[in-house]
Amino acid sequence: MFASLSERLQEVFASIGRESRLTPEAVETALREIRMALLEADVNFKVVKAFVDRVRDRAVDREVLDSLTPTQQVVAIVRDELRALLGDGPTGLSVSSQRPQVVLLLGLQGAGKTTTTVKLAHWLKQQGRHPIVVSTDVRRPAAIEQLSVLASDAGVRVHESSADTAVVARAEGAVTTGREMGFDVVLVDTAGRLHIDDDLMAELEAIKSSLAPSDLLYVADAMTGQDAIKSAGEFNRRLDISGVVLSKMDGDARGGAALSVVSVVGVPVTFIGDGERIEDLQPFHPDRLVSRMLGMGDVLSLVEKAEQAVSQEDAARLEKRIRRNQLTLQDMRDQLASVSKMGPLEKLTELIPGMNQTASQLPDGAEVNPRALKQTMAIIDSMTRRERTHHQIIDGSRRRRIARGSGTTVQEVNRLLKQFMDMRKMLRAVGGVSRSRRKKGGRRRLPTGMRFPMG
Amino acid sequence: MPAETLDALEELLIEADVGVAATNRLIEAVRGRADDGDLRALVRDELLALLEARPASPSPDVSPRVVLVVGVNGTGKTTTVGRLARLLTSEGKQPVICAADTFRAAAVEQLEVWAGRVNADFIRATTGSDPAAVVFDAVSSGKAKGRDVVLVDTAGRLHTRANLMAELDKIRRVAGRVVAGAPHETLLVLDATVGQNGLPQARAFLETAGVTGIVLTKLDGTAKGGIAVAITAELGVPIRYVGVGEQIDDLLPFSAEDYVDALFEPVW
Ligand SMILES: Nc1nc2c(ncn2[C@@H]2O[C@H](COP(=O)(O)OP(=O)(O)OP(=O)(O)O)[C@@H](O)[C@H]2O)c(=O)[nH]1
Ligand SMILES: Nc1nc2c(ncn2[C@@H]2O[C@H](COP(=O)(O)OP(=O)(O)OP(=O)(O)O)[C@@H](O)[C@H]2O)c(=O)[nH]1
Ligand SMILES: [Mg+2]
Ligand SMILES: [Mg+2]
């Protein structure tokens, strides 16, 4: 798997020697690593070229060269530049007075349009809106049925047309129904198509000109490589897309294609999809993509997930502990208790840097198994208060006692402790990164301190 | 030979998603021989040697042969099963199509349409049921009826989901219990637009599902699917078929020559 960019830079600078000052040659070595890491993250090679030049200009500055923490300095520059490339575009849907507001979902085959259509409807319902969805995919086998099944699972209204209804008429029918029945958003799913398929691109143009949608969301697979700018670019040229939905972000792709699309095509990412379930859609946070690309894991998302289940003060306390590297087993216990409210632990561990592998080493299915969760809590519950706050004191005989007390084995206790220490280590690595730069764009409910991992 | 040409070649390979490591290896392999002639021809030869030196499709003398089709979400697995069935029927073989995607909405109905198009036996389960159970039924039925091949469509799954990957292992064990050595072929369906994530995908599916070949779909777009080159180089898994459209005849046996020529063709 990819070593994180911050780790790589650390290595580069370590091999050069800590004592000596940073030389322009050392910067070049670092830049090579940066280039490689960005290419491995699927950032378009032209974007990478320009990017590396910009970082070079800033990195050869006296201040950086003379600094005692060149790694942090360079990582900070990279992070700033990535962040700048992603911009502060609007996320979510546009605010429109159109009633019903029409949203068109489009993109390449298999990108995730149909799933996203229903996810978006679900998200809108949670915002108090009244969405109706319609399929215009008369080509892919069972595409219409797929949308219907998903929508009915989500309790979302579907506009059905007779089998021989033409594409544009289907969408128009949904808008009419929406207007008559008081739905305020119509979400139009379209068939997947190639950007070089002139006829099918023209079909989208026809839908667009008939419905005048407020939003044209281009659904892009987060795993896309160098081709991303060609396809997104052409969709944008012909249809003037308003936003990108980055799907399948629940995997381990770095999502660098998003960076290329935003910077080359100039369209903001508005949502990300992070799972196959209907709830798995979130408004986009550029900071999180940046830390993901740098390999720092998505600590912010983690904190926010925790926050949804834990009270504000608890979350703030946790964040402070993470920052000071004072995370204790007791905190872990508290978190796990709220995890049960949060959904699969697997998701959560994926968000923590370095935890991904740990999760996959668990026995079959353990990562989504509430029993495993209970077991972990039982282990912590069998510890004394002092053990929970000072894990260093848990020696062999204490481990045996804890295992007995929790009805587990010493190996299981060991595994938990290792997991905990890995988590601390990773969180420390993230916390060590400069936090000098203040930035906006972090949202709403987060207590101010919580933005810290991004600086 | 001017360094500029090497740079241009490097760019071409990177832009085709071959990836930094595999690109560097290819470039290094020809760097010293720059005087021998056209650099591009040298790289072409390297690529051909790599892509052609591949293990043949396992074709044991058993019936039915079981082919498992796996991959991450949305790559073209179901469509590929439909098209593979067509290739088989056009050779006069009788396939059984097994719908083991019991998870995604309307996945079974989608495959059923394909099965109807080629007139193949279709074994389905209800959504939400155990995929291994339907595989058992399909392989047993294929065996009882003396069919040639059982094509198993599976649900898309990200390679990072340990429990879903374990499900594939279970499917394999169940198939092997009915017919010795099954599944005889496990095809990883890769979307040609995929970037560097294709490699960890292949690694994970190779490890847990014993992938024996790659189907590279959506080559009718502008993506080149170069990560498949890196996969063959690093993991030794050969490309078996390419998908070049959404229609029933849009699956072709892989030709290294055609692929490499397309790789060098100017990008759209
Ligand atoms: N893991 C994961 N899978 C996703 C996500 N979004 C969609 N999928 C899956 O990706 C596959 C394709 O999704 P669809 O919604 O059918 O894609 P589409 O763009 O409508 O496909 P076509 O209509 O054939 O072009 C399905 O298996 C979905 O369950 C996501 O965010 N994460
Ligand atoms: N252009 C093009 N489209 C393809 C090709 N192969 C498949 N598709 C399309 O890609 C989309 C996804 O194909 P599926 O066969 O449903 O993919 P899948 O891997 O079964 O998807 P899940 O089961 O949801 O994971 C559909 O719209 C197909 O028509 C190909 O070779 N070229
Ligand atoms: Mg669809
Ligand atoms: Mg499928």
Q: Is residue A248 lining ligand 1, measured as CB closer than 6 Å?
A: yes
Q: Which residue has the higher pLDDT, A340 or B83?
A: B83
Whether the per-residue pLDDT at B74 is higher than 70: the answer is yes
Q: Residue A311: pLDDT band by 50, 70, 90 thresholds?
A: low
Helix/strand/coil (H/E/C) assignment for every residue in chain A: CCCCHHHHHHHHHHHHCCCCCCCHHHHHHHHHHHHHHHHHCCCCHHHHHHHHHHHHHHHCCHHHHHCCCHHHHHHHHHHHHHHHHHCCCCCCCCCCCCCCEEEEEECCCCCCHHHHHHHHHHHHHHCCCCEEEEECCCCCCCHHHHHHHHHHHHCCEEECCCCCCCHHHHHHHHHHHHHHHCCCEEEEECCCCCCCCHHHHHHHHHHHHHHCCCEEEEEEECCECCCHHHHHHHHHHHHCCCEEEEECCCCCCCCHHHHHHHHHHCCCEEEEECCCCCCCEEECCHHHHHHHHHCCCCHHHHHHHHHHHCCHHHHHHHHHHHHHCCCCHHHHHHHHHHHHHHCCHHHHHHHCCCHHHHHHHCCCCHHHCHHHHHHHHHHHHCCCHHHHHCHHHCCHHHHHHHHHHHCCCHHHHHHHHHHHHHHHHHHHHHHCCCCCCCCCCCCCCCCHHHHHHHC
Burial of B89 per CB tally in 10 Å (0-12, 13-18, 19+): middle
Q: In the CATH hierarchy, which top-level class contains the domain A101-285?
A: alpha beta
For residue A344, the chain B residues in CB contact (below 8 A) are none
Same domain, B38 and B128: no
Closest residue, chain A, to B75 (C-alpha): A110
pLDDT band, very low/low/confident/very high, at A301 (cuts 50, 70, 90): very low
SS3 B119: coil
Fold of A3-86: Four Helix Bundle (Hemerythrin (Met), subunit A) (1.20.120)
Residue to mutate among A32, A223, A234, with most B CBs inside 10 A, is A223
Q: Quick one: pLDDT at residue A21?
A: 60
Task: Please provide residue A407's backbone torsions phi and psi, each rounded to the nearest 5 degrees.
Answer: 65, 30
Same-domain check for residues B31 and B74: no
Q: How far apart are CA A185 and CA B112, in angstroms?
A: 33
Q: CB-CB: which of A109, A196, A276 is closest to B73? A: A276
- ipTM of the complex, rounded to two decimals: 0.95
- For residue A220, the CA-to-ligand 2 centroid distance in Å is 14
Secondary structure class of B214 (helix, strand, coil): strand
Taking the CA of residue A280 as reference, the ligand 1 atom at the shortest distance is 31
From A277, which residue of chain B is nearest by alpha-carbon distance?
B104
* Partners of residue B217 on adjacent β-strands: B191
Q: Do B120 and B180 sit in the same domain of this protein?
A: yes
Could you tell me if residue B171 is inside a domain?
yes
Contact: A139, B222; criterion CB under 8 Å: no
Report whether pLDDT(A367) > 60: no
Tally Cβ neighbours within 10 Å of residue A308.
12
pTM for this model (two decimals):
0.80
Inter-chain touch A231–B222, beta carbons under 8 Å:
yes
Q: B246 C-alpha to center of ligand 2: Å?
A: 7
At what angle are helices A143-154 and B107-118 packed, to 10 degrees? 160
3-state DSSP helix/strand/coil % of chain B, to nearest 5: 50, 15, 35
CA distance A367 to chain B (A): 8
Region B34-43 average pLDDT: 79
Most confident of A68-77, A369-378, B176-185: B176-185
In sequence order, what are the beta bridge partners of A215? A103
For ligand 1, whether the C-beta of B156 sits within 6 Å is yes
Per-residue confidence (pLDDT) for residue A333, from 0 to 100: 75
pLDDT tier at A111, thresholds 50, 70, 90: very high
Average pLDDT over residues B182-189: 97
Q: Considering only residues 138 to 177 of chain B, which have any Cβ-Cβ distance to chain A shorter than 8 Å?
A: 158-163, 166
Contacts A276 to B, Cβ<8 Å: 73, 103-104
Instruction: Confirm whether B59 is domain-assigned.
Output: no
B127 domain residue, yes or no: yes
User: Is the model's pLDDT at A274 over the cut of 90?
Assistant: yes
In a domain, B57, yes or no: no
Q: Which range has highest mean pLDDT (A32-36, A362-366, B164-168)?
A: B164-168
Mean pLDDT of B19-46: 87
Is the C-alpha dihedral spanning B190, B191, B192, B194 positive or negative? negative
CB burial of B227-257 (b: ≥16 within 10 Å; e: otherwise) equals bbbbbbbebebbbbbbbbbbeeebbeebebe
Q: Is the CB of A221 under 6 A from ligand 1?
A: no
Ligand 2 atom at minimal distance to the Cα of residue B74: 21
The verdict on residue B58 lying in a domain is no
Give contacts of B220 with chain A, Cβ < 8 Å: 194
Please state at what angle helix A370-381 crosses helix A329-342, rounded to 10 degrees.
Answer: 160
Of the listed ranges A69-83, A106-120, A181-195, the one predicted with least confidence: A69-83
Select the residue of B20, B105, B162 nearest A39 (Cβ to Cβ).
B20
Give the strand pairing for A185-189 and A101-106: parallel
d(CA B110, CA A141): 5
A346 and B223: CB-CB below 8 Å?
Answer: no
Residue B267, SS3?
Answer: coil
CA distance B113 to chain A (A): 6
Note whether A111 contacts B74, CB cutoff 8 Å: yes
Answer whether residue A19 shows pLDDT above 50. Answer: no
Expressed in angstroms and rounded, the spacing between residue A245 Cα and the centre of ligand 2 is 19
Ligand 1 nearest atom to the CA of residue A119, by list position: 6
| Position A305 pLDDT exceeds 70 | no
Which range in A50-64, A139-153, A306-320, A322-336 is most confidently predicted, on average pLDDT? A139-153
- Distance between CA B6 and CA B133 in Å, rounded? 54
The angle that helices A286-294 and A5-16 make with each other, rounded to 10 degrees, is: 50
DSSP lists the bridge partners of residue A218 as A106, A244
Distance CA A333, CA A98 (A): 48
Token reading at B177? 């219990």
Residues with CB under 6 A from ligand 2: A 109-110, 140, 192, 194; B 71, 73-79, 101, 104, 107, 155-156, 189, 217-218, 220, 243-246, 250
Number of domains, chain B: 2
Based on the fold, state whether residues B179 and B241 are members of the same structural domain: yes
Question: Does residue B15 sit within a domain?
Answer: yes
Is the CB of residue B39 less than 8 Å from the CB of residue B7?
A: no
DSSP classification of residue B124: -
> What is the per-residue pLDDT for A316?
65
Q: What is the mean pLDDT of chain A?
A: 80
Give mean pLDDT, residues B33-40: 74
- The verdict on B246 and B152 lying in the same domain is yes
d(CA B139, CA A58): 63
The number of the ligand 2 atom at minimal distance from the alpha carbon of B243 is 31
Q: Kindly tell me if the per-residue pLDDT of A310 is higher than 80.
A: no
Tokens, residue A102: 């029409």
Stretch A76-101: mean pLDDT, rounded?
Answer: 87
| Residue A337: pLDDT band with limits 50, 70, 90 | low
Radius of gyration of chain B (CA): 19
Residues B15, B105 within the same domain = no
How many angstroms separate the CA atoms of A263 and A84, rounded? 9
Mean pLDDT of the A277-306 span:
72
Q: Is B46 helix (H, G, I), strand (E, B) or coil?
A: helix
- Select the highest-mean-pLDDT range: A7-16, A131-140, A394-403: A131-140
Point out the least confidently predicted range of A55-69, B14-28, B41-55.
Answer: A55-69
Rounded Cα gap, residues A147 and A24, in angstroms: 56
Contact B163 A221 (CB under 8 A): no
Q: How far is the CA of B103 from the centre of ligand 1 (A)?
A: 12
State the DSSP code for B194: B
Q: Is the Cβ–Cβ distance between A21 and A60 less than 8 Å?
A: no
Residues above pLDDT 70, as percent of chain A: 71
Of A106, A114, A123, A134, the residue with max ligand 1 atoms within 8 A of its CB, to mutate for a pocket test, comes to A114
pLDDT number for residue A318: 65
Q: With a cut of 90, say whether residue B261 has pLDDT above it.
A: yes
CA distances from B207 to A34, A301, B154, B162 (A): 30, 30, 17, 12
Local structure of residue B222 (DSSP, 8 states): S
Q: Kindly report, residue by residue over B149-180, the tens digit of the pLDDT.
A: 999 999 999 999 999 999 999 999 999 999 99
pLDDT tens for A235-258 read 999 999 999 999 999 998 888 999
Question: A401 versus B36: which is more confidently predicted?
Answer: A401
Domains in chain A: boundaries: 3-86, 101-285, 301-439
pLDDT of B184 reads: 96
Upstream peptide bond of B183 is cis (omega within 30 degrees of 0): yes
The beta-carbon neighbor of A226 closest among B15, B72, B110 is: B15
B2 preceded by a cis bond (ω within 30 of 0): no
Do B69 and B197 fall within a single domain?
yes
Which residues are registered as beta bridge partners of A385? none
How, if at all, do strands A215-221 and A269-273 pair? unpaired
- Looking at chain B, the whole-number percentage of residues with pLDDT higher than 90 is 84
Nearest alpha carbon to residue A153 among B105, B109, B110, B129? B105
Across A96-100, A249-253, A256-260, B30-34, least confident range = B30-34
Test the A interface: residue of B11, B110, B197, B207 with most A CBs within 10 Å = B197
The verdict on B75 and B190 lying in the same domain is yes
Instruction: Tell me the residue range of the domain where B11 lies.
Output: 3-52
Q: Are residues B102 and B170 in the same domain?
A: yes
Q: What is the pLDDT of residue A443?
A: 27
Averaged confidence pLDDT in chain B: 93
Buried b (16+ CB within 10 A) or exposed e, A273-306: bbbbbbebbbebbbbbbbbbbbbbbbbbbbbbbb
Which of A356, A361, A352 lies closest to A429 in space, CA to CA? A352
CA of B243 to the centre of ligand 2 (A): 9
Which residue among A36, A148, A227 sits closest to B193, beta carbon to beta carbon? A227
B164 alpha carbon – ligand 4 mean position (Å): 15
Residue A115 alpha carbon to ligand 1 centre in Å: 6
- pLDDT above 80 (res B201): yes
- Cβ neighbors of A446 (< 8 A, separation 6 or more) are A300, A303, A304, A307
Distance CA A436, CA B156 (A): 43
Q: Are A251 and B158 in contact (CB < 8 Å)?
A: yes
What sections of chain B are H helices per DSSP? 3-15, 20-31, 39-52, 77-90, 107-118, 131-145, 162-178, 198-209, 227-235, 256-264
What is the C-alpha to C-alpha distance for residues B180 and B183, in angstroms, rounded to an integer?
A: 8
Same domain, B76 and B122: yes
Co-location of B41 and B76 in the same domain = no
Q: A308: which residues sit within 8 A by CB, 6+ positions away? A: A342
Is residue A280 in contact with ligand 1, taking CB distance under 6 Å? Answer: yes
- Nearest CA of chain A to the CA of B59: how many Å? 31
- With CA atoms as reference, the chain A residue closest to B208 would be A360
Write the pLDDT tens digit of every residue in B218-256. Answer: 999 999 999 999 999 999 999 999 999 999 999 999 999
Residue B105 pLDDT class (50, 70, 90 cuts): very high
The pLDDT of residue B214 is above 80: yes
pLDDT value, residue A190: 98
What is the pLDDT at residue A13? Answer: 63
Q: Which of A34-48, A295-309, B204-218 has the highest mean pLDDT?
A: B204-218
Ligand 1, atom nearest to B105 Cα: 29
Reported as a pLDDT band with limits 50, 70 and 90, residue A361 is very low
A32: tokens are 């090579």
Interatomic CA distance for residues A355 and A374, integer angstroms: 19
Instruction: Say if residue B75 is in the same domain as residue B147.
Output: yes
Q: Which residue has the higher pLDDT, A333 or A96?
A: A96
CATH number, domain with residue B104: 3.40.50.300
Q: Among the CATH numbers 3.90.180.10, 3.90.79.10, 3.40.50.10490, 1.10.260.30, which is that of A301-439?
A: 1.10.260.30
Burial A83-116 (b: 16+ CB within 10 A, else e): bebbeebebbbeeeebebbbbbbbbbbbbbbbbb
Residues of A with CB below 8 A from B110's CB?
140-143, 146
pLDDT of residue A347: 52
- Does residue A30 contact residue A12 with C-beta atoms inside 8 Å? yes
* Joined tokens for residue B253: 């046996």
Q: What whole-number distance in Å separates Cα of residue B253 and Cα of residue B245? A: 14
